Structure 1
């Protein structure tokens, strides 16, 4: 169905978990956009019209557990294999045989694994903020437990069901505002301040969030959009993704060290901990992403890259998409 770049369609499609909510704009080759934590389809609001105007059928989903998509009760329902199956279901529900997939944060990891596990469907992959690092090494929970010394890494903090929810859900709006500020290029704490990715003994994550500072990309309307959704759904579905990292490590054992060979793009922020902590993963791209077309670090940008620097991201995405074989 052809639509102009100014039109936008919301719909639900069937997935293995139940129903997935998606937002569609434009016509042409399919580009599937996958968000991260704690976001929704709305994080792609700047990219949908830009990609539609460039001649693409841009579709942004609410990942299972988020927004208006289904929220299964089982923690195991949020394993990577199921999220890849959801993306495959979206492509087929839209009447397509293939798609370019682009992800941010956890969406980057989901997009990478979708391309790895379903290369005949996902013909190219764009990764924002979180670099591709093949499955390998020790069990993830063991790695995270060794980080931080007397402090606890946020991924470990998220593991126990109900623990992080008890911190977040009494004040979803305030917690989200602080979390976004802690990882935005213009509001993140100084390098000399306590690291907001870690929790002190008997502390919480929000203890280290910036106070009374909103990043430039986050106005009241944007914060309202996120807060209203998470106030309605809670955070358990979103946090259950973190609670499957060991399960994913087991599920993907056959893909240990596997490269992604399709054409790929990476865009990160120079101030994002994901690009500094995982610098070795970026350096390994000649081996792990042999189809890499281009890799970019946006100077001064933090973690929320497509919202902090939408014009740069739109330019890079459009240029990369135009370079792909039809």
Structure 2
């Protein structure tokens, strides 16, 4: 059964929401919950926490839904197992299933952003009996591919190293990030936001030249408009406390995921679905072919939206618009 969390710092609390710890296999997941009605499970990406859904929680609650934003294992106040393989996709899907059951619900709509989008997609794919609708923000749904992920990532970038490959070596990215967590997060958030992205002649932060650091190409300037100093404090305090290893271990499991999920080669998602991407978000533009394939891969797609002038942090950059799109879609799903 859900248990109250240890008292959080006031800065993490979302007004009107309840914080809980719920039991899952091997540990506990922390979540922020608001509202009553059909359950909507909100899953964040890298490097964020449940706090990234702070704008949508009250909107969904007001619209008649029970919105629950989790800290994915390895993040925030959720448990962080030591083995790298504990962060494989099947374990994260199992966490979502356990959260649903712990909250006393039989089914849920699952909504994810960034890595959370992939977690949402696989939750719907592996347990369609429980996750009866799914929404994907920034990262489009793409079925299993016969190309081993690490092999594919290694071919991207030519003489420079693609950021996923950079993240895959245990301890390497931690050595760059953890001496200055707040500064690194500020640079990463700023570099992927509309209006504060680095100029093209500075080079993409997604590619790392030999001997360089990822942060060497981060934008240098003020925070994006969606991120206050207080908000940055919330994120940085959580990662200062937990470190980045749990979050980065998601990247270190992509080949395990590929092996685990091979039986779903070419699988389509038939549940009612929604996609929202940012026109300036590389996660969306790189996977434009996946969006174009939606008539085949997402036969239950209700609507797809590309927000002009929007970067990667979509539910924070365009909080009002995303809240409205989610609510409109949910009303269709639950009509």
TM over 0.5: yes
Contact 2:196-2:221 at 8 Å conserved across structures = no
The counterpart of 1:302, out of the listed 306, 311, 317, is 311
In 1, Cα distance between equivalents of 2:326 and 2:25 = 29
- TM-score normalised by the chain length of structure 2: 0.95
Q: CA deviation at 1:234?
A: 0.2
Name the counterpart of 1:144. 153
Contact 2:87-2:249 at 8 Å conserved across structures = yes
Q: Write the mapping of 1:1-326 to structure 2, written as runs, cut at 5 A.
A: 7-325=16-334
In 2, Cα distance between equivalents of 1:93 and 1:291 = 28
In 1, Cα distance between equivalents of 2:132 and 2:31 = 20
Contact 2:270-2:299 at 8 Å conserved across structures = yes
In 2, Cα distance between equivalents of 1:191 and 1:312 = 28
| Structure 2 unmatched runs, 5+ | 3-13
Deviates more, 1:185-194 or 1:256-265: 185-194
In 1, Cα distance between equivalents of 2:158 and 2:326 = 39
Partner-residue secondary structure (3-state), 1:72: coil
Q: Could you give the per-residue CA deviations for residues 118-139 of structure 1, whole angstroms, max 9, x where no partner exists?
A: 0000000000000001111310
Q: CA deviation at 1:6?
A: 6.0
| Structure 1 unmatched runs, 5+ | none
Residue-pair matches, total: 323
Partner-residue secondary structure (3-state), 2:202: coil
In 2, Cα distance between equivalents of 1:122 and 1:223 = 32
In 1, Cα distance between equivalents of 2:325 and 2:179 = 39
Q: Could you give the per-residue CA deviations for residues 232-261 of structure 1, whole angstroms, max 9, x where no partner exists?
A: 000000000000000000000000110000
CA RMSD of aligned residues (A): 1.2
Q: CA deviation at 1:213?
A: 2.4
Name the counterpart of 2:6. none
Partner-residue secondary structure (3-state), 1:322: helix
Contact 1:168-1:175 at 8 Å conserved across structures = yes
Contact 1:7-1:25 at 8 Å conserved across structures = yes
Partner-residue secondary structure (3-state), 1:37: coil
In 2, Cα distance between equivalents of 1:17 and 1:107 = 20
In 2, Cα distance between equivalents of 1:96 and 1:159 = 36
Q: CA deviation at 1:191?
A: 3.3
Q: CA deviation at 1:192?
A: 3.8
In 1, Cα distance between equivalents of 2:254 and 2:139 = 15
In 1, Cα distance between equivalents of 2:254 and 2:56 = 29
Deviates more, 1:13-22 or 1:88-97: 13-22
Q: Could you give the per-residue CA deviations for residues 135-193 of structure 1, whole angstroms, max 9, x where no partner exists?
A: 11310000000111110000000111100000000000000000001100111123343
In 2, Cα distance between equivalents of 1:64 and 1:184 = 25
